[in-house]
Chain A
Amino acid sequence: MSNILKNDREVVIPGECLAEGMDYLPGDNTYREGEKIYSKILGLVGVAGRVMKITPLSGPYLPKTGDKIIAQVFDITMSGWRFKTNTAYSAMMNVKDASSRFIKRDEDLSKILAIGDYAVVTITKVTSQNLIDLTMKEPGLHQVSGGRLVKINSQKVPRIIGKQGSMISLIKDKTGCNITVGQNGIVWIKGDSDKELLAEKAVKMIEARSHEEGLTGKMEKFLSGGASQ
């Protein structure tokens, strides 16, 4: 006899039993002990067919290949730049991944990206030891200039973007700002200064109320009201 002990989208804490019996399989952030499946992290239960998984509600960002993040240069080496990634690990970007133009051997790398600069970059490789390689060569990747950076919990990033980008395009439409969301929880907002402030407020609000339903509608109301002030 196998049965699920928790409902879909229920909040569970580490060590709570999710299901009994061998008919279910442990997915992300769960583990099996004997016949039972337990949660390994605080989060929401997800049942996908026979697989039980947990979507974390808080926690650190785990770097993944292909993620677009916003990172800060903190060191320049012979062969490239080292970035802070808002995780426990720093990332490396090689000279050849910085620009599509040819960078000469004796060029001053700090003219391209100086220490303290932020850039929108993509993760090209993550090793088992969490060494991270970055690139800035793909379209849409560039140095961050002007605007403001907002730090949020990286687990809330999908909420900021919304289904098929519905939430983020709503904020962009209503405020006229350019917004780039890094998967590591750093959001770059650039536009008119009062609109920037409104967009920042909106992002913070989504972060604080991310577990609520119908948030896109609420945000639309908030942004329409705020924008007309």
Chain B
Amino acid sequence: MTYTERVDGRKFDELRPMEAKAGVIPNADGSALVKAGKTTAYAAVYGPRELFPRFKQNPKTGIVRCHYGMMPFSGSGERIRPGNSRRSQEIAMVMEKSLNAMIDLSAFPNAVVDIYVDLPQTDAGTRCAAISAASIALADAGIPMKDMISSVAVGEVDGTVVADLSYDEEAYDAIVSDIPVAMTHNTKEITLLQMDGEISKENLMKALEMAKVGTETVYELQMKALKEKFSRSD
């Protein structure tokens, strides 16, 4: 274990400074902004609206469609090719599955709820920021949901379990694992669990416990963002 101090001086279980805001895009039915350190995610929700192409319609329930995109200038210098890529398709799919677990669109058969997430600035943890932002935007849009979904990444850097990895940590020159986790608030059910790298079984369990605490912090922030938007009086 040589990783005794984090690159940016945080405590091992400390998240990056976060910020969340609801209702940032007036044209959308619901929207949100989530910042986690140097990662910024904007989410916009439209719908429920008519779904085309028609063969995708489900007569039993409405469906959720996600879009995930990193903006061309969002990385650290290298231009990111805009548009669909293998990576963005995968993230859109896992976001869809993660959020779908709590969304109830049974009152909207054949319809679709579109979620667009774009990131003007990225520094690791983008899918977590995207899911947390999308969850706020969905609630803001008045979509029926059983619970909020909060997401945070955990992992192991050179033998030490840490929360909310930054890019410098992901690129640390040792054995690193990066585990994005999304959880519901009430039941702490896991709706997203992916892993990059390797980790021991004991440390994985430790990391998941850390994710439980981390997502709770994110949840508090999401709640604050939504209540701020709707209870402000003059």
Contacts of A62 in B (CB 8 A): 107
State the main secondary structure of chain B at its contact with A: loop
Chain A interfacial residues counted at CB < 8 A: 32
Q: Are A42 and B234 in contact (CB under 8 A)?
A: no
The 5 closest A-B pairs by CB, nearest first: A59-B142, A15-B147, A88-B111, A58-B142, A14-B145
What's the minimum C-beta distance from A23 to chain B, rounded to whole angstroms?
21
What's the minimum C-beta distance from B152 to chain A, rounded to whole angstroms?
17
Are A15 and B146 also in contact (CB < 8 A) when A58-B141, A88-B111, A130-B108 are?
A: yes
Q: Are A88 and B110 in contact (CB under 8 A)?
A: yes
Which parts of B76-124 form the interface with A (CB within 8 Å)?
A: 102, 104, 107-112
What's the minimum C-beta distance from B228 to chain A, rounded to whole angstroms?
10
Q: Are A41 and B140 in contact (CB under 8 A)?
A: no
User: Is A209 engaged at the interface, CB distance under 8 Å to the other chain?
Assistant: yes
User: Is B50 engaged at the interface, CB distance under 8 Å to the other chain?
Assistant: yes
Contacts of A212 in B (CB 8 A): 233-234
C-alpha spacing A59/B147, complex, angstroms: 16
What's the minimum C-beta distance from A153 to chain B, rounded to whole angstroms?
9
Q: Are B108 and A211 in contact (CB under 8 A)?
A: no
What's the minimum C-beta distance from B133 to chain A, rounded to whole angstroms?
15
User: Is B226 engaged at the interface, CB distance under 8 Å to the other chain?
Assistant: yes
What's the minimum C-beta distance from A69 to chain B, rounded to whole angstroms?
17
User: Interface residues, chain A, CB within 8 Å of chain B?
Assistant: 11, 13-17, 29, 31, 33, 38, 40-43, 56-60, 62, 87-90, 128-130, 155, 209, 211-213
What's the minimum C-beta distance from B33 to chain A, rounded to whole angstroms?
17
Contacts of B48 in A (CB 8 A): 60, 87-88
User: Is B6 engaged at the interface, CB distance under 8 Å to the other chain?
Assistant: no
Q: Are B144 and A29 in contact (CB under 8 A)?
A: yes
Q: Are B184 and A15 in contact (CB under 8 A)?
A: yes
Contacts of B141 in A (CB 8 A): 58-59
Q: Are A15 and B144 in contact (CB under 8 A)?
A: no
Q: Are B111 and A211 in contact (CB under 8 A)?
A: no
C-alpha spacing A11/B30, complex, angstroms: 17
Contacts of A128 in B (CB 8 A): 109
Closest B residue, CB atoms, query A130: B109
Closest B residue, CB atoms, query A12: B227
CB-contact partner of A15 in B47, B51, B186, B230, under 8 A: B186
